[in-house]
A and B are shown apart, each in its own frame.
Chain A
Amino acid sequence: MLKYTLKRALMAILTIWVVVTITFFLMNSIPGDPFTDQKKIPPEIMEKLEKKYGLDQPLVVQYGKYLKNILKGDLGDSMKYKNRSVNSIIEEGFPVSFKVGMLAIIFAAVVGITFGTIAGLNRAKFFDFLVIILAVIGVSVPSFVFAALFQYVFGVKLKWFPVARWGTPAHYVMPVLALGIGYVAYIARMMRTSMLDVLNQDYIRTARAKGLSSTQVTWRHTIRNAILPIVTILGVSIAGIVVGSFVIENIFAIPGIGKHFVQSITHQDYTLIMGTTVFYAVILVVMMFLIDIFYGIVDPRIRLE
């Protein structure tokens, strides 16, 4: 297990290095620089700016320097936000995005797995069709449509929850729902399919042949096996969702880091692009690692020597 963990950790570092390298050179191959969209900058000032951020040096040198810095955990200073480091931007926004994202995924997992399970157990009955229809709607309607709808219905008309901004727990409700609903649909569908698959397995028949009640068969034999594929989706989904959603955070005016993923690129804020990318890569790699370990606990067949 220790050997495996070490090997995985090494692979993780390698993955992150590849991501850093590719992003770094791709980003620099985009025409323009962080300062061009502003008013015409006098050449002397431009020169000073470039010198300050080290942009006057050859690309390889910049790359080497960047690698050295991220090893120390320093993601550099933002080129767009004056006097702010990328680290502080992430530290400020991430907890907010993380909370919204985690709540959304917990909501999605609980509701999605429950719906999928019940639908799978009642194949071709009313509830099954209901879940299928809801799942299709949930998957195909984008989150911002739900967001706007919720704002109008629950915010403006019913006045149950604040329409936007951030602060009290009531502010969480609508963004979490809007963000989670697509995942609910996705997980419900996967869970339903997985349940049907497991219910057809021979070992379910064996369990029934033992005289176990249908509740026992469902809980001990069906759900546990059906949930395995869901774990995989959950891991990747968590990584994607906790780093915030540009759309949802914009609509509800949530001070998360979702917007930086998009805006840093349009601004060509080199350090912030790199910072958010590395950050996301690290979270993703860590999640995958956790999923692997979790998998080993739930499924003995892939338990590692």
Chain B
Amino acid sequence: MEKLNKDKLLLEVKDLHVSFDTYAGEVKAVRGVNFHVNRGETLAIVGESGCGKSVTAQTIMQLIPMPPGKIKKGSIIFDGNDLAKYSDKKMESVRGKEISMVFQDPMTSLNPTMKVGKQIMEGLIKHQKMSKEEAKKRAVEMLKLVGLPTPEKRAEQYPHEFSGGMRQRAMIAIALACNPKLLIADEPTTALDVTIQAQIIELMKDLQIKLDTAIILITHDLGVVAKISDRIAVMYAGVIVESGTSNEIFYKPKHPYTWGLLKSVPRLDLERKERLLPIYGTPPDLFSPPAGCPFAARCDYAMKICKEKYPQKFGITDTHHVHCWLQHEMAPEVKHPLAEGGTN
């Protein structure tokens, strides 16, 4: 295990289990997730729809509806305090002030009947105890910071007068207004145009440097991840199957699921044209997840043990970890199928 530097460590999630009680039974959305975020760095959590990445993110801020959702086990240590034990009331002083969130759909994430400036001011008045005038000034500054021209005018406008990209900028302004230590961006670019996506990512990178904010980026888009993240955690069926630095995940991935993800992204660096390969099948049912590796059923390299026992954590380097039986010394050697493409 990589040594955690206590001074740098901002957030540490340990063995987090989150479930939802439904009429059909208990959905085990997150089943023992471990990760950490250092101050000022960017961690990307990557995975397909329904793998539990958004639930993990929203659980950190206790934004999942509780009930039916509940934190069954585990701890969320933020700056030395366990947020999993915080009451909803106590969380109010963390949300927006210490940790902020940007959501997927900017078209619906802003209140349509409230001026954008006022929506930024709300958090400032609450957390920084600013007067209305101060908060207004700061709101205009924030809009300027996120790159909106004529911020004074924009602050007086309503969300429907903004385009999608501008709204996401406004969302970022709301999130960063109180200078939080951690920004959780839950698919921040998914609902946007490709050209706007790049701008938003650039903006987040920029502001991260200016404000020294750590970012957890939740996405299924590896293209977005490559541009911004320091480290990547690949999530599948409620668990993190592989984690490492961006270079490690992109160039030396070890988990067959990560290979699958990478193969399904178009590449410009190959000379011959390659087909994009989908990962066949669907993720397991989270009502009763399999005992073994959840990916075994879709994995081309699955062995007998994969279906029976959940793989332990194998350390590749100090920073690179993978949960896969292929790393076991008795497993046959499988060559990373992307390597022949000439990546590294």
Interface membership of A145, Cβ < 8 A = no
Interface membership of B171, Cβ < 8 A = yes
Contact A211 B114, CB 8 Å, known A201-B108, A205-B63, A205-B103: no
A-contact bits for B93-104, CB 8 A (1 contact / 0 none) = 111110011010
What residue of chain A has the Cβ atom nearest to residue B93's Cβ? A211
What residue of chain B has the Cβ atom nearest to residue A298's Cβ? B113
Contact call B174/A206, Cβ cutoff below 8 A: yes
Select the stretch in A40-48, A217-225, A265-273 that faces chain B.
A217-225
Interface membership of B61, Cβ < 8 A = yes
**Closest chain A CB from B89 CB (angstroms):** 8
**Closest chain A CB from B317 CB (angstroms):** 35
Interface membership of B36, Cβ < 8 A = no
Contact A209 B100, CB 8 Å, known A201-B108, A202-B105, A202-B108: yes
Contact pick for B108, options A203, A210, A216, CB 8 Å: A203
Q: Which residues of the other chain, B, contact A299 by a CB distance below 8 angstroms?
A: 112-113
Contact pick for A203, options B92, B110, B126, CB 8 Å: B110
**Closest chain A CB from B296 CB (angstroms):** 35
Interface membership of A136, Cβ < 8 A = no
A202, B175: Cα distance in complex, Å: 15
A298, B112: Cα distance in complex, Å: 10
Q: Which residues of the other chain, A, contact B92 by a CB distance below 8 angstroms?
A: 211-213
Contact call A300/B113, Cβ cutoff below 8 A: yes
What residue of chain A has the Cβ atom nearest to residue B97's Cβ? A211
Query: Which chain B residues numbered 110 to 159 have a C-beta less than 8 Å away from chain A?
Result: 110-114, 119, 122-123, 126-127, 158
Q: Which residues of the other chain, B, contact A214 by a CB distance below 8 angstroms?
A: 88
Contact call A207/B95, Cβ cutoff below 8 A: no
Interface membership of B160, Cβ < 8 A = yes
Contact call B108/A211, Cβ cutoff below 8 A: no
A209, B172: Cα distance in complex, Å: 12
Contact call A206/B103, Cβ cutoff below 8 A: yes
Interface membership of B247, Cβ < 8 A = no
A299, B158: Cα distance in complex, Å: 10
Q: Which residues of the other chain, A, contact B88 by a CB distance below 8 angstroms?
A: 214
**Closest chain A CB from B304 CB (angstroms):** 44
What residue of chain B has the Cβ atom nearest to residue A221's Cβ? B111
Contact call B110/A301, Cβ cutoff below 8 A: no
**Closest chain B CB from A91 CB (angstroms):** 41
Interface membership of A208, Cβ < 8 A = yes
Contact call B112/A300, Cβ cutoff below 8 A: yes
Contact call A211/B112, Cβ cutoff below 8 A: no
A206, A208, A210, A213 pick with most chain B CB within 10 angstroms = A210
A209, A225, A301 pick with most chain B CB within 10 angstroms = A209
Contact call A210/B122, Cβ cutoff below 8 A: yes
Contact call B112/A225, Cβ cutoff below 8 A: yes
**Closest chain A CB from B152 CB (angstroms):** 18
B-contact bits for A239-269, CB 8 A (1 contact / 0 none) = 0000000000000000000000000000000
Contact A301 B111, CB 8 Å, known A206-B174, A208-B95: no
Contact call B96/A211, Cβ cutoff below 8 A: yes
Query: Which chain A residues numbered 187 to 214 have a C-beta less than 8 Å away from chain B?
Result: 201-203, 205-214
**Closest chain B CB from A212 CB (angstroms):** 6
Contact call A300/B160, Cβ cutoff below 8 A: yes
Interface membership of B109, Cβ < 8 A = yes
**Closest chain B CB from A81 CB (angstroms):** 50
What residue of chain B has the Cβ atom nearest to residue A207's Cβ? B111
**Closest chain A CB from B288 CB (angstroms):** 26
What residue of chain A has the Cβ atom nearest to residue B111's Cβ? A203
Contact call B95/A210, Cβ cutoff below 8 A: yes
Contact call B93/A208, Cβ cutoff below 8 A: no
**Closest chain A CB from B113 CB (angstroms):** 6
Q: Which residues of the other chain, B, contact A216 by a CB distance below 8 angstroms?
A: 122, 126
**Closest chain A CB from B53 CB (angstroms):** 16
Contact pick for A209, options B96, B108, B127, B158, CB 8 Å: B96
Q: Which residues of the other chain, B, contact A209 by a CB distance below 8 angstroms?
A: 61, 63, 95-96, 100-101, 103, 175
Contact call A203/B112, Cβ cutoff below 8 A: yes
Q: Which residues of the other chain, A, contact B95 by a CB distance below 8 angstroms?
A: 208-211
**Closest chain A CB from B21 CB (angstroms):** 13
Contact pick for B109, options A202, A298, A300, A301, CB 8 Å: A202
Contact call B63/A208, Cβ cutoff below 8 A: yes
B-contact bits for A87-109, CB 8 A (1 contact / 0 none) = 00000000000000000000000
A216, B119: Cα distance in complex, Å: 12
A209, B122: Cα distance in complex, Å: 11
A205, A214, A225 pick with most chain B CB within 10 angstroms = A205
What residue of chain A has the Cβ atom nearest to residue B157's Cβ? A300
A221, B95: Cα distance in complex, Å: 17
**Closest chain B CB from A202 CB (angstroms):** 4
Q: Which residues of the other chain, A, contact B158 by a CB distance below 8 angstroms?
A: 300-301
What residue of chain A has the Cβ atom nearest to residue B184's Cβ? A209
A209, B183: Cα distance in complex, Å: 11
B residues neighboring A (CB under 8 Å): 61, 63, 88-89, 91-97, 100-101, 103, 105, 108-114, 119, 122-123, 126-127, 158, 160, 171, 174-175
14 CB contacts below 8 A, A to B, read: A203-B108, A205-B103, A208-B63, A209-B96, A210-B100, A210-B123, A211-B94, A211-B96, A211-B126, A221-B111, A225-B112, A300-B112, A300-B158, A301-B160
New contact pairs (13) apart from A206-B109, A299-B113, CB-CB < 8 Å: A203-B110, A206-B103, A206-B110, A207-B111, A209-B63, A209-B101, A210-B96, A210-B174, A224-B113, A225-B111, A225-B112, A299-B112, A300-B160
8 nearest A-B residue pairs (beta carbon):
A211-B96, A211-B95, A210-B96, A202-B108, A300-B158, A210-B123, A203-B111, A202-B109
